[in-house]
Amino acid sequence: MIKRLLVHVCVAWVSVALFSARSVADPLYTVTSIGSTGPGVVDIYGFNNAGQIVGYDPAPGQSGGYGFVYDGSPGGTGAVTPIGAAATPDGILGLRLQPAAINDRGQIVGTPAQGSPAGSTSFLETGGQITPLPGFWPIAISDSGLILGQKGGPIPDSLEGVVYNTATGATQVLPSPTHALQTWPTAINNAGEAVGNAFITTNGSILSATLSHPLLFKDGTLIDLGTLGGSSGNATAINDRGEIVGWADTANNASGHAFLYRNGKMIDLGTLPGDASSNASGINSAGQIVGSSSPQSGPSRGFLYAGGVMKDLNQLLVPGSGWTVTIPFAINNLGQILAYGIGPGNGDEVLLTPSNLPAPTPPDYPSTTITPEPTSLALYALGGIVVAVRCRRRRSVAARRQGRCW
């Protein structure tokens, strides 16, 4: 009897072990394509912890572009709400608002798109009301209303990082490393801590500039986070616990690896098996990290780093999705991941939703002209400081997270 009981226990244990192994391998994410509008391509710029996504459709109905908010929340309806003007019904171009970021309060910051009327300015939208911003390019906005941005510096080709306080109207210029020609902030948390990098030059020419170490801007001071033994790197994201991710060169500049900076220490996250380099682009409040891992040649693979383990995101997708995730951009506190992938027929932005949450309906982008909102026209009338068309404003979220200018 005891022997028979032991046999049953062993069989049960093996069954549990096999079930657990299958559970680990079970798909964790469903894929929602969010970047296409038929023959056109939509640019995605950011999302918040509710799953609201902001982007820009450059030419609906061949009549002009518009900024929008897509409801990508779990179980979302797929609604696409314009945040700016695209074109009036008679085809006359109105003000085009290109969003850069959205916070958890639904506040949106952005800039005028190419083709906007002269005198158009960067903007903040709160509850449908649009407010001009004083002469800088917004990059991110915290829930407390601190806007991280960038503006032209005092000498040719120079750029400065700034933090604009929407409550007081004060603008703080971020400190820069010695000989920095351009400071490139990338993210800000709700404590007002910002991260980024800078381009350093010894002769004042951007052509001879080199990328600095990852940087933390905290309480009015500049903190150099160092590297993984090499010369350069970039901090791309920071969560509310002050944990920072990005990439940094390894010893002898052999490669660039994704890192996690926590408690004053930079941790090398390594790469996926067989790859040569990696970059971390997002981190949420739970400490889940997303990024890309790349071989010496060939396409990159998206990864999820959690619990000290880096996993290939493509092994965590619903079977038969038809998608290969190459570059994750960000991860929110729901665990949703904004990414770029290669799908049936073309590459596109996608939203990955954990399988324990209902996936949102794909976006229903308008295919006809859109009437400008009254607040958008009011902004057009206000004019203000002209914002030149520069690389900073046109970069997608993918380029911003990787410190690229395209």
pLDDT greater than 70 at residue 145: yes
The Cα 76–Cα 104 span in angstroms is: 16
CA atoms within 13 Å, Cβ hemisphere of 265: 4
**Which of 5-14, 218-227, 253-262 has the lowest average pLDDT?**
5-14
**CA nearest 238: which of 281, 198, 271, 177?**
281
Q: What is the mean pLDDT of residues 222-227?
A: 97
Domain-located, residue 216:
yes
pLDDT band at residue 134 using 50, 70 and 90 as cut-offs: very high
Q: Is the dihedral of CA 67, 171, 153, 259 positive or negative?
A: negative
Domain-located, residue 260:
yes
**CA nearest 72: which of 40, 97, 35?**
35
Domain-located, residue 7:
no
The token duo for 65 is 């572009």
pLDDT greater than 90 at residue 406: no
pLDDT of residue 234: 97
Domain-located, residue 168:
yes
> How many angstroms separate the first and last alpha carbons of the chain?
72
The Cα 248–Cα 228 span in angstroms is: 6
Tell which wins on pLDDT, 11 or 151: 151
Domain-located, residue 406:
no
Domain-located, residue 4:
no
pLDDT greater than 70 at residue 390: no
Q: Helix and strand tally (H, E) in the chain? A: 4, 31
Domain-located, residue 20:
no
Q: How many domains does the chain have?
A: 1
pLDDT of residue 118: 64
pLDDT band at residue 24 using 50, 70 and 90 as cut-offs: very low
Q: What is the mean pLDDT of residues 211-233?
A: 96
pLDDT of residue 60: 55
Could you list the residue range(s) of the whole structural domain that residue 323 is in?
29-397
The whole-chain average pLDDT of the chain stands at 82
Domain-located, residue 402:
no
pLDDT of residue 293: 98
Tell which wins on pLDDT, 45 or 404: 45
DSSP string, 1-69: -HHHHHHHHHHHHHHHHHHHHHHHHS--EEEEE-SEETTEE-EEEEE-TT-EEEEEES-GGGS--EEEE
pLDDT band at residue 383 using 50, 70 and 90 as cut-offs: very low
Cβ(198)–Cβ(215) below 8 Å: yes
pLDDT greater than 90 at residue 9: no
Residue that the structure tokens 């780093």 belong to: 305
pLDDT digits (tens, 9 = 90+) for 73-104: 999 999 988 886 433 333 333 357 899 999 99
pLDDT band at residue 364 using 50, 70 and 90 as cut-offs: confident
Q: What is the mean pLDDT of residues 370-379?
A: 43
pLDDT of residue 353: 97
Tell which wins on pLDDT, 82 or 285: 285
The Cα 312–Cα 272 span in angstroms is: 7
pLDDT digits (tens, 9 = 90+) for 318-358: 999 999 999 999 999 999 999 999 998 788 899 999 999 99
pLDDT of residue 248: 98
pLDDT band at residue 230 using 50, 70 and 90 as cut-offs: very high
pLDDT band at residue 115 using 50, 70 and 90 as cut-offs: low
List the CATH number of the domain containing 47.
Answer: 2.130.10
